[in-house]
A and B are shown apart, each in its own frame.
Chain A
Amino acid sequence: MISSFLRQILLTIAAVLFLAAPVQLALAQTPTPASPAPAPVTTTPAAPAPAAVAPAPVAEAPAPAVPSSIVSEQRPVIDALKKQIAAYEQKFKQKADADAALANLRLDLEGSAKKLLDIGVSFRPRITEINARLEQLGSPPPQGQPAEAKIVTDERTRLTTEKAEINAVLGETEDQLLEVNKMIDAIGDARRELFANTLSQRVDINYSLGSEVIDAYGREISTMNQLISSWWRFVVTFKWQSMLAAAFFAVIAALVLLIGGQRLLGHLYLRDAAIEQPSYLSRLAVAFWSTLMRSLTVVVFLATTYLFLSYFNVLRPDVASLFYTLFCVIGIVYFVHALAQAVICPGAPNWRLVHVAPRPGRILMVLITATATITGLDYLADTINQIATSPLSLTVAKSLFATVLVGLLIIAMALLKPLEDQETGAAKRWPRPLRLFLYAIGLIPIAAALLGYIGFARFVSQQIVINGAVLVTMYLGFLTARAVADENALGGTVLGRTIQTRFGIDESTLDQLGLIASIVINVFVLLLGIPIILLLWGFQWSEMTVWFLTFATGFQIGSVTISLVAIAVGILLFALFYGFTRWFQGWLDVRVMSRGKLDSGVRNSIRTAVGYLGLGIAGLIGISAAGINLSSLALVAGGLSLGIGFGMQAIVSNFVSGLILLAERPFKVGDWIETSGVGGIVKKISVRATEVETFQRQSIIIPNSSFINGNVGNWTHRNKLGRVEIPIGVSYKVDPRRVHAILMDIARSHPLVLKNPEPFVAFKALADSTMDFEMRVHLADLSNSGTVQNEIRFALVDRFAEEGIEIPFPQRDVNIHLDDADAIVQMITDRVKEQLAGQPKKTTKN
């Protein structure tokens, strides 16, 4: 459908881009970092001088002409290649004006170059062998010395001959390679020139063109009239049944699809106006299905019509191509229209995929459809021109008209105020950069066409339309990815719910799945969209696969080679090995160490160490598989160490402390430790920090260095044995020996108190109000201390009550000396008298 003219333009742009890449690469390579600049690169054929050294002795040798086996092996291959290259050269001369052919030729030639190089390399083992043997034989004895054995001379001669032969063949291969590479360069030049010609060709637009066009137009109309009417007469006279049958079948097929599709899939794409706020995904699904079904109906109708028409031989070749283009144009225009309608959805605002105001949305839709229609009609007119063999002037005029119209339509789109403010609902213009961009791409084809650069204008306008369509579709793809990644987006869909019930996945996992799905969609859109755009720009599929392969298997930036495959393999290996480490860790812990009755601290240390070791090895394996030289890693590490010394001092010190903790094991998971005012149970020992849970269930993350630098108290280091003290004071009225005996009795009778070390009761002090005792008991497991203390205290209180032993309150004796008693009595009496005297006054006053 794309006219050959357009194809040429597209292909030539490919050429330019394609050629630009190696040029840049070559530029990047030239400044080699070697200190003595490799002598000014001369392109003189300088080979013969040094090359002449080796073959010299061959000339005088009697040459026992036995061709080397490798040479005779490779000879036919080289000859075949030579023939092929000659054929390519011929082809190049013939097809110098067809861009697609040139692009293919270039690929073929690159293949040949690779083969030539392979042939060259295949000689290397033999050359090495010969050189080694020649070295063993040594150089021939100089004149005057006793001659060497004949067999040695013979062998040397034979070897030098073979070497010379190989050298000659290599020279031939080299020349061929040189020729091939020159041809590749020439093809690049030719393609560049072709492209430049098409784009820079200028047509004078003046009055004479106008009259010429009107003439040609009249002729074309009459030609087409004749053509169509003669075909029509033919159809009406001979094929009217077939024609009717074709139309009938086509309508049937379309109806089946339309009605059946609506019946079966209607719920998928008919918009339910009752739904207030459909989710983005359901809006998207509706848009997708409605576009697909509507376009499919039309496409099926057109395709069946065309197929039946050609099946019944109704179409003549010229009419067939006309119909084909017409149907294609109708199909594509309808598709664009359906897509625009589905996305903008002017009738049902809540089903819109993009936020566009209703009225401008409708206009935008019309404009988009119009642009597609004009581009399509341009193609159709191309076909008509070809059929009617119209003069160039008509093509020029038609292209001028079409490109200017497309440009105007784009400018009209730029002028719209399509966006709706989310809050106020006021219409807004496009964002400024987008608006300016639209103006620019609308003005370029108009200006170019009016200046007479029709080829360029047409190229630009067609690129705009097609690429615009692809880009919008890609944008929708990205929007989808974003919608899928939203929280609970996947869970809200039918698919998500099905997965959830089928595989029994919980909400959060489903959410993560959504995230992964979104990444996959993004990658997919890029992988699909970029090649399509490149194809539209005229790149050949084969070229793209070559690029992709180069990109994947390794490309150079300066002196660094980056290979995506290697990096992916590295990541994969890392993941695999890390997974294996985790499995091994678990296996070692559960199967081996637990059976071996190892101490839990040792187990934990080994487990952690194995984990980090595995991580390190996995990292190293991954790095080397990714093609990164480990020696340069050492270099960087060396450079960083100073920085690490200052910047990451704390982290590194914690890290090292963690390693020491793992080796020394001052405490293990589950120990009750106390350090710098924090006490609790150790929950996890990592390399940087240790997690301690206090008895109030507060997790405290303590940096490992504080364990190494400070004191750590561990209640349960070697065993859980521990001492508990219970102080008690009794009244002086009781016999302390009796109290001591009772306390010892209580301590001994408690089941959890150890017999050895024996409980001890200390008579600690004769305090103010009490005699103080302290009961000291040892427990096998200190974690029971709370219970034991409780029980002993209960027992104490009960027993003391039984025995009538008092636990006194604080007591104090108060002594009053009565020496001044008289004076005090006198003073009080005086006070009372005074008060009594003052009383009558008060009464009168009242």
Chain B
Amino acid sequence: MNKFAVVILTSTIVAGTTLAGPAFAASLKNSDASAQTVVVTEGSSKTQLQVAAGDTVEFCSSGCFVTFPNGDREALTGGESIEIKGGKVSIK
């Protein structure tokens, strides 16, 4: 009976956490001092995405192409975390 209660307690917490769960989009962090602009091709449109200095944005939930400020192009599947630091792009 006690274990049952524990299970219920856990599942309540789980249900609560689901709402605060992680997102499966790519995240882009700009660690540089100036704002950066990347071009995102997602769906049927190309959009410019501006990221202020020190900010992180989430985009590209279902795969996209990105052109970074240094001209590099990358295809993303939508789970990556990207960091722009010193003009260099690193993808994890």
Contacts and interface: CB of A to CB of B under 8 A. Distances in A.
A170 B3 CA distance: 55
> Interface range on chain B: under 10, 10 to 19, 20 to 34, or 35 or more?
35 or more
B34 interface: no
A385 B57 CA distance: 60
A341 interface: no
Interface stretch (A83-91, A296-304, A558-566, A675-683): A558-566
B17 A633 contact: yes
Contacts of A562: 18
B22 A53 contact: no
A34 interface: yes
A65 interface: no
A29 B37 contact: no
Contact of B69 (A50, A611, A636): A50
Contacts, number: 174
B22 A167 contact: no
A127 B6 CA distance: 50
Interface stretch (A332-340, A451-459, A621-629, A721-729): A621-629
Nearest to B55: A36
B3 to A, nearest CB: 6
B33 interface: no
B31 to A, nearest CB: 15
A372 B67 CA distance: 60
Nearest to B39: A47
A565 to B, nearest CB: 14
B18 A167 contact: no
Contacts of B69: 50, 53
Interface stretch (A172-180, A235-243, A497-505): A172-180
Given A127-B72, A167-B72, A561-B21, A39 B44 contact: no
Interface string B58-84: 110101110111111111110000000
Nearest to B25: A559
Contact of A170 (B23, B47, B50, B65): B65
A208 B76 CA distance: 63
A745 B55 CA distance: 94
Contacts of B76: 121
A125 B90 CA distance: 12
A50 B84 CA distance: 15
A632 B67 contact: no
Contacts of B13: 633, 636-637, 640
A350 interface: no
Given A170-B65, A182-B44, A629 B22 contact: yes
B23 to A, nearest CB: 4
Contacts of A43: 45-47
Given A38-B51, A52-B71, A615 B3 contact: yes
A50 B74 contact: no
A124 B50 CA distance: 23
B77 to A, nearest CB: 6
Given A32-B57, A32-B58, A556-B24, A173 B39 contact: no
A120 B65 contact: yes
B14 A53 contact: no
Given A53-B70, A173-B75, A636-B13, A688 B2 contact: yes
A123 interface: yes
A806 B75 CA distance: 109
A559 B58 contact: yes
Nearest to A28: B61
A29 B40 CA distance: 15
Given A50-B67, A629-B17, A686-B2, A171 B73 contact: yes
Given A178-B44, A629-B17, A51 B6 contact: no
Interface in B2-58: 2-3, 5-7, 10, 13-14, 16-25, 35, 37, 39, 41, 43-52, 55-58
Contact of A184 (B37, B44, B56, B59): B44
Given A34-B57, A170-B65, A55 B71 contact: yes
A142 interface: no
B2 A687 contact: yes
B21 A632 contact: yes
A562 B46 CA distance: 28
Given A47-B39, A623-B14, A185 B44 contact: yes
A567 to B, nearest CB: 9
B45 A38 contact: no
B39 A50 contact: yes
B66 to A, nearest CB: 9
Contact of A50 (B7, B37, B47, B55): B37
A42 B73 contact: no
A174 B89 CA distance: 19
A35 B41 contact: no
Nearest to A630: B17
Given A50-B67, A181-B44, A167 B37 contact: no
A173 B47 contact: no
Nearest to B75: A120
B21 to A, nearest CB: 5
A638 to B, nearest CB: 11
A531 interface: no
A174 B60 CA distance: 14
A619 interface: yes
Contact of A560 (B18, B37, B58, B91): B18
A121 B14 contact: no
B65 A39 contact: no
A41 B44 contact: no
A123 B44 CA distance: 22
A53 B46 CA distance: 19
B24 A36 contact: no
Contacts of B57: 32, 34, 38
Nearest to B58: A32
Interface string A1-43: 0000000000000000000000000100100111110110111
Nearest to A121: B75
Given A36-B51, A626-B14, A124 B58 contact: no
Contact of A554 (B24, B67, B88): B24
A635 B37 contact: no
A615 B6 contact: yes
Contact of B22 (A561, A611, A686, A689): A561
A275 interface: no
A840 interface: no
Contacts of A523: none
A464 B70 CA distance: 60
A74 to B, nearest CB: 12
9 contacts: A32-B58, A34-B57, A43-B45, A47-B41, A52-B71, A121-B76, A174-B65, A556-B61, A628-B17
Considering the complex of A and B, which 10 residue pairs feature the smallest CB-CB distances, nearest first?
A120-B75, A54-B71, A181-B44, A39-B50, A36-B52, A559-B23, A170-B73, A53-B71, A174-B65, A34-B57
Given A561-B23, A619-B10, A623-B14, 11 more contacts: A32-B57, A34-B56, A36-B50, A38-B51, A44-B48, A117-B65, A120-B65, A120-B74, A174-B41, A174-B65, A688-B5
